[in-house]
Amino acid sequence: MVFCPTTPSGMCLPRLIRKPLADLANLMSGEVIAIDGKTVQRSLDRASGQSAIYRVSAWAHQNNLVLGQVKVDDKSNEVTAIPKLLAQLDLTGTVVTIDAMGCQTVIAQQSIDQKGDYVLSLKGNQGNLHEDVAAWFTSKLAPAVRSVDRDADHERIEPRSVCVSDDKVDT
């Protein structure tokens, strides 16, 4: 027997809201999906030895909608959870953004395999990769800067430049 919460008229609620929710999650081409990990507030319980709960979420920027979440396994990190989350999503025509924690070849390839594009953050602590990318974008072969923005936050002004390259570079 299957139980279903109903409206006063007897209509099954999950069936009633399925279509509007599907419409909300209908992503437009070029939609930005931000992947980010967060600690669930107040999930740490020192008294019982319960460690904090970490989740990785996918946020559709244009729709203002969380598309999915995956719990990060104990004694693991976002790198193992991100591929699981991406596998649940239709990335066709979208742009996936991930912070430096997710700057992994496997994650970039999964975005491509699922017909999406990606923007991965890169920090200086990622060794040769950071140096190689910096060398590429400062070479005379690099594409022109497409955008410059000035961010005034935390009492400092930082210019942020955006260059885009779809060239595959063998490493």
User: According to CATH, where is 3.30.420.10 located in the chain?
Assistant: 20-41+48-121
Domain at 20-41+48-121: CATH architecture: 2-Layer Sandwich (3.30)
Q: In what order do the strands lie in the sheet with 117-120?
A: 65-71, 54-60, 32-39, 95-98, 117-120
For the beta carbon of residue 144, count every other beta carbon within 10 angstroms: 6
Please give the model's pTM, rounded to 2 decimal places.
Answer: 0.71
pLDDT in tens, 73-114: 877 788 899 999 999 888 999 999 998 888 888 999 999 999
Number of H helices, E strands in the chain: 4, 7
Nearest by Cα to 32 from 10, 60, 53, 68: 60
Tens of pLDDT, residue by residue over 105-164, are 899 999 999 999 998 888 888 778 888 888 888 888 887 767 777 777 777 777 777 777
Question: Amino acid identity of 72?
Answer: V
Q: How many CB atoms lie within 10 A of CB 25?
A: 15
